[in-house]
Structure 1
Amino acid sequence: MFILKSASPRRIQILKDLGFQFLVEPANIDETQNSGELPLVYLERMVHSKLGNLRDKNTLYLAADTIVVFQNEILHKPIDLEDSIRILKILSGNKHSVFSGAALGTNFGTDFFYEETTIEFKNWKEEEIRDYILRCKPFDKAGSYGIQDEDGPVFSKEGSYTNVMGFPLRSFFSHSSVWLPFWEGSLGVEID
C-alpha cells in the first residue's frame, strides 16, 4: 500500500499523472516555526512530522512540504488578504527560493530529500497584487502564489517547475530507486 500524507491538490495531481495509485491520509500537525529555526531545519522537521509514526510494514508512506524563503526568512501561507498583500509586496521585483522537501518511509526507515528553485517576480504595483489575489485566491500556498496561475507574479525561474508546485519530482525519482522493489512488489506498478 502507498499512502500520501498530504492533502495538497497539486501533489495529488502530480502523483496521479505519474500513474501511482495511493490513499490520501493527511497529517494534522502544528506548523509553527520555532524561534530562530533555520528554513531547511524547519522544512525537514515538517516533513518528518507529517510522516508520523510508521507502523505498518506493508505500507510505503510519502510526506512533503514546501517553503518560500526570502533573505533567509520563511514566508508562510498568508493568514488573510492583508497578509497575502504584504507577502507579495515583499517578493515583488525580487528573487527568492522555493524549497520542497519530501520523505519516503516504511517502518524500516525514512529517506528525506529536497530541491531548490529560484524564482524572480515581476515588479508589481499594489493594484496588480490585489487583482491577482482576488482572481487566484492563493491563501493555501506558501508565499501566497502559485507558479501555475495564469497571469501570475512569476517572471522567471531557475530549476524545477514541479518543485515550486510543491513536489521535488527530480529528487523523488533519484531517491525512489532505493524503493523499487517495494513499488513493484506492493503496488503492482511496473517501473522501466
Structure 2
Amino acid sequence: MFILKSTSPRRIQILTDLGFLFQVAPANIDESQKTLEPALQYLERMVHLKLGNDGEPNYLYLAADTMVVFENEILHKPIDLEDAVRILQTLSGKKHSVFSGAGLQTRSKIDFFYEETIIQFKNWNEDQIRDYILRCQPFDKAGSYGIQDANGPVLERVGSYTNVMGFPLRSFLARSSVWLPYWESSLKRIG
C-alpha cells in the first residue's frame, strides 16, 4: 500500500495524474525552524518528521515539504495578509530559490531527495501585491505564492515547475526502478 503523508492538494493531484492509488494520512508535526538551522537541514528534518518511525512493514510512505529561500532565509507560509504582503514585497523584482524535498520510506529504508528551482519575480508595487493576495489567497503556500496562479508574480523559472508546486517530480521518477516493487500494486490499471 502507498501512503502519502500530506494533504497538499497539489501533491495529491500530481500523484493522481501519474496514475497512483494511495491513501492520505497526514502527519501532525511541529514545523518550527530551529535557531540558525540551515535551510536544507530544516527541509530534510521536516520530511523525516512527517514520515515518522512507526510504519507498517509492507507499506511505502511518501512525505514532502517545500520551502522558499531568499538570501539564506526561509520564507515560510504567511501567518496573515500583512505577512503575505511583507513576503511578496521582499521577493518583488528579485530571484529566490524554491526547494522541494521528499522522502520514500519502508520499514527498512528511507530515501531523501530534493530539487531546487530558481524563480525571478516581477517587480510589483504594493497594490499589485495586495490584488494578487486577495484574488489568489496564497496563505497555504511557502513564500505566499503559487506558480500555477494566473497572473501571478513569477516572471521566469529555471528548473522544475512541479518542484515549485511542491513536489520534486523529476527526482521521484528517477527512483522508479528502485521502488517499483512497492509501486506496482499502487498503480491504477489502465487499458
**Can you list the C-alpha shifts for 1:125-152, whole angstroms capped at 9, x where unaligned?**
0000000000000000000000000000
Which region of structure 1 is more displaced relative to structure 2, 104-113 or 48-57?
A: 48-57
> What is the TM-score normalised by the length of structure 2?
0.97
SS at match of 1:83: helix
In the alignment, what sits opposite 1:187?
186
Provide the C-alpha distance between the structure 2 equivalents of 1:118 and 1:155, rounded to a whole number of angstroms: 11
Would the aligned equivalents of 1:146 and 1:165 in 2 still touch at CA under 8 Å? yes
In the alignment, what sits opposite 1:87?
87
Provide the C-alpha distance between the structure 2 equivalents of 1:141 and 1:55, rounded to a whole number of angstroms: 28
Letter of the 1:137 partner, please give it: Q
Instruction: Describe how 1:45-84 pairs up with structure 2 within 5 A.
Output: 45-84=45-84
Instruction: Describe how 1:1-192 pairs up with structure 2 within 5 A.
Output: 1-184=1-184, 186-187=185-186
CA root-mean-square deviation? 1.3
Provide the C-alpha distance between the structure 1 equivalents of 2:146 and 2:84, rounded to a whole number of angstroms: 12
SS at match of 1:53: coil
* Offset, 1:188: 5.3
Provide the C-alpha distance between the structure 1 equivalents of 2:44 and 2:136, rounded to a whole number of angstroms: 29
Provide the C-alpha distance between the structure 2 equivalents of 1:188 and 1:147, rounded to a whole number of angstroms: 28
> What is the TM-score normalised by the length of structure 1?
0.96
Q: Which runs of 5+ in 2 are unaligned?
A: none
SS at match of 1:6: coil
Moved over 2 A (4+): 186-190
Provide the C-alpha distance between the structure 2 equivalents of 1:181 and 1:42, rounded to a whole number of angstroms: 30
Letter of the 2:100 partner, please give it: S
**Can you list the C-alpha shifts for 1:38-86, whole angstroms capped at 9, x where unaligned?**
0000000000000011431111000000000000100000000000000
Would the aligned equivalents of 1:183 and 1:189 in 2 still touch at CA under 8 Å? no
Q: Which runs of 5+ in 1 are unaligned?
A: none
**Can you list the C-alpha shifts for 1:77-124, whole angstroms capped at 9, x where unaligned?**
000000000000000000000000000011011100000000000000
Equivalent pairs, count:
190
* Offset, 1:181: 1.6
**Can you list the C-alpha shifts for 1:23-48, whole angstroms capped at 9, x where unaligned?**
00010100000000000000000000
Would the aligned equivalents of 1:54 and 1:106 in 2 still touch at CA under 8 Å? no
Would the aligned equivalents of 1:67 and 1:76 in 2 still touch at CA under 8 Å? yes
